[in-house]
Chain A
Amino acid sequence: MSIELNTNDGHVTITNDVISTIAGGAAVECYGIVGMASKSQIRDGIAEILRKENFSKGVVVRQANDKLHIDMYIIVSYGTKISEVAHNVQSQVKYILSQSLGLSIDSVNIYIQGVRVAKD
């Protein structure tokens, strides 16, 4: 449930929770995302937008054979090019994680759980 980094001075443990919080934080700063959706809330097709403290609920960190995979459940803004927004999220999340934790992520999978139409 965590990642170990060994340095000269001892070792560093990074829990998956930390990874998902950072990934969630990076994602919500991405342009075109209006919310994170809970991964288990797909009732009647209405995804619930998570409140701030629950960002990490829309992020699942999986580890398999020393590889890291991240699944993100997001809600995008209507009228944006969704494929491009998703791609931007992928590269931003990868970059932020490699910068802040020195982790290379094998894949960032994006699940678009909803589109929100802004009220004019």
Chain B
Amino acid sequence: MTIQKLDGITFAQMVLSGAHHLSNNAQKIDALNVFPVPDGDTGTNMNLSITSGASEVKKQDSNSISIVADAFAKGLLMGARGNSGVILSQIFRGFSKGLEKKETVTAEDLAVAFESGVTAAYKAVMKPVEGTILTVAKDAASAATEHSGLNNIVELMEKVVEEAKASLKRTPELLPVLKEVGVVDSGGQGLVTIYEGFLAFLKGEKLPENNADIDMEDMVNAEHHKITQDFMDTSEIEFGYCTEFMVKFEEEKTSENPFNEEAFRNELSEHGDSLLVVSDDEIVKVHIHAEYPGACLSLGQQYGSLINMKIENMREQHTAIVGKNKKEKPKEKSEYAIVTVAMGKGLKELLESLGATVVIEGGQTMNPSTKDITDAIKQANAKNVLILPNNKNIIMAADQAAELADEEVRVVPTKTIPQGISAMLAFHPDADLDMNKETMNEARQHVKTGQVTYAVRDTQIDGITIENGHFMGILDGKITSTNQNHFETVKLLLQEMITEEDEILTILQGEDVKDEELNTLIEFVEETYEDIEIEVHKGNQPIYSYILSVE
């Protein structure tokens, strides 16, 4: 048969047929799903997406193919679910754009639309993964272009389906995980199913339910792949036998006891999981993980004779894979710990996130005593401990605590929080203690620390006159600027701190600094120093409005 011109009404019927065929096979497509995430929902997602597309198509009765395709694309976009659904919506968005407002299209126009769909689909991803629905769409569109001279839309669609199927078979060659598991791509299978539905309408064929020729073997492979993700321990396996069998229907049994796939599936599902049931007029194939395979076989025998049985003990297999790895007992003492000092909850959390084992609250106005540090060393429960005092007035107490401790303790004489952070970043758990002390001490010296705090009395220091209550900017312990508000002070301080060579500025926001002010400051830095990267942490530290570090 020949169709030279395709109109909107025919295309609408093709869409509905494609959606119907996909919905009939959604369960099987789910079973194939191993990539990108093996959560077995590809068929379901594609089905929801295309159903939404089809219902938009049903809402209008235009005879213009471009209007119908637009409606289809819009419905797909609105109802897109999952990766496969989003890709499908892009393919048909491009497809409808490629129709260029035409009322009817020729085979040549249709090929252009397929190509335009592929172009759009590839544009929406940075790194297209080949061996997926994208590849199948691309190869199918190429086949359309190749045969667009046929001037017959039915033939063109036949070529499209043929090539889509061939491309689907090639997916395991392109995507290693598919090959590993032994399946074809589920999204690609979904697209093939839709195209098959398109073609079936054009040829006036009625597609039997569940006819997409999806290999049982593939479904079983995918099922096993998903299962291996689940069990960490052999004892967790609830259903111990992987059971596969086929039943060849026998007239005398089925006449008394008619076979119904749905009912049989429900019956079997009581006996185990990972259940797959596929049937046609002559045979039913079953795959199930069951604790009592015999019961499942007996259920099958109600309808005919058993052929091709295979039963495997999964616990034995799993033990062999896992080996004798027993979970470890909690360890006595860890190898390394870092004990450090900070004030303010935010700073404490920041240091903990960087790997500090114990953070002693203190610093500047309430320095921890030697005993506080000794207690922290005990609490850290490690063979080797590094102490970062983060304040020059605490270094002495830390040294004393180190001498008193039974553990191997070293003090890295960090004088500020930023120095402490840099030292922590230089920590290497696989280097020995003295080596770590050395590299951490080296690292802390590369940091410039700026602090903004307020004066508690009138004074003159470093040639600068400071009034009580005014703020001062301190660069590595030396006062460089003063002003009555902390925002101006911090700007002056930054101008002192940042040089050509510096790459990164870290700001620890004090408890008296509002977010608006901080944002203004970030804008100022971005405008003034284009190349510098800014990191901000909520330190919520008292006393110091800002603690800055520049490296």
**Which residues of A are interface residues toward B (Cβ below 8 A)?**
1-2, 4, 6-8, 11, 13, 28-35, 40, 43, 62-64, 77, 79-81, 84-85, 88, 91-92, 95-96, 118, 120
B128-147 contact mask (Cβ, 8 Å, vs A): 1 or 0 = 01000000000000000000
A40–B38 Cα distance when bound, in Å, is: 34
Report whether B80 and A80 are in contact in the complex, using a CB–CB cutoff of 8 Å.
yes
Are the C-beta atoms of B534 and A31 separated by less than 8 Å? no
Pair A92/B533 contact, Cβ less than 8 Å: no
Contact of B331 (CB < 8 Å), options: A1, A6, A118: A6
**Given A43-B526, A64-B353, A13 and B36 contact (CB-CB distance below 8 Å):** no
Task: Determine the residue in chain A with the shortest Cβ distance to B428.
Answer: A13
Please indicate the chain B residues that have their CB under 8 angstroms from the CB of A88 in the complex.
82-83, 86
Cβ 8 A contact of B86, one of A40, A64, A84: A84
Structural contact, A31 and B87, CB atoms closer than 8 A: yes
The chain B residues found within 8 Å of chain A, CB to CB, are 36-39, 77-78, 80-83, 85-87, 89-90, 93, 97, 120, 123-127, 129, 325, 328, 331, 335, 349, 353-355, 424-425, 429-430, 522, 526, 533-535
B180 to chain A, nearest CB (A): 12
6 contacts between A and B (CB under 8 A): A6-B328, A8-B328, A11-B429, A63-B353, A80-B80, A92-B36
A32 touches B86 (CB 8 A): yes
- Docked Cα-Cα span, A85 to B36, in Å, equals 13
| Distance of A5 from chain B, by nearest CB (Å) | 11
Contacts of B93 in A (CB 8 A): 79
Q: Determine the chain A residues whose CB is within 8 A of the CB of B335 once the complex forms.
A: 11
Listed from nearest, the 9 A-B pairs whose CB atoms lie closest are A77-B124, A81-B80, A118-B123, A95-B37, A28-B126, A1-B354, A88-B83, A31-B125, A29-B127
Quick one: which of A7, A32, A64 has the most chain B CB within 10 A?
A32
Question: In angstroms, how far is the closest chain B Cβ from the Cβ of A29?
Answer: 5
Closest to A26 in B: B36
Known contacts A31-B86, A64-B349; A81 and B77 CB within 8 A of each other: yes
Nearest-neighbour CB distance to chain B for A63, whole angstroms, equals 5
Contacts of A8 in B (CB 8 A): 325, 328
Q: Give the residues in chain B near A2, CB-CB below 8 Å.
A: 355, 429
Question: A13 CA to B429 CA in the complex, in Å?
Answer: 8
- Do B81 and A40 touch across chains, with their CB atoms under 8 A apart? no
Q: A29-B36, A79-B93 are in contact. Are A35 and B126 (CB under 8 A)?
A: yes
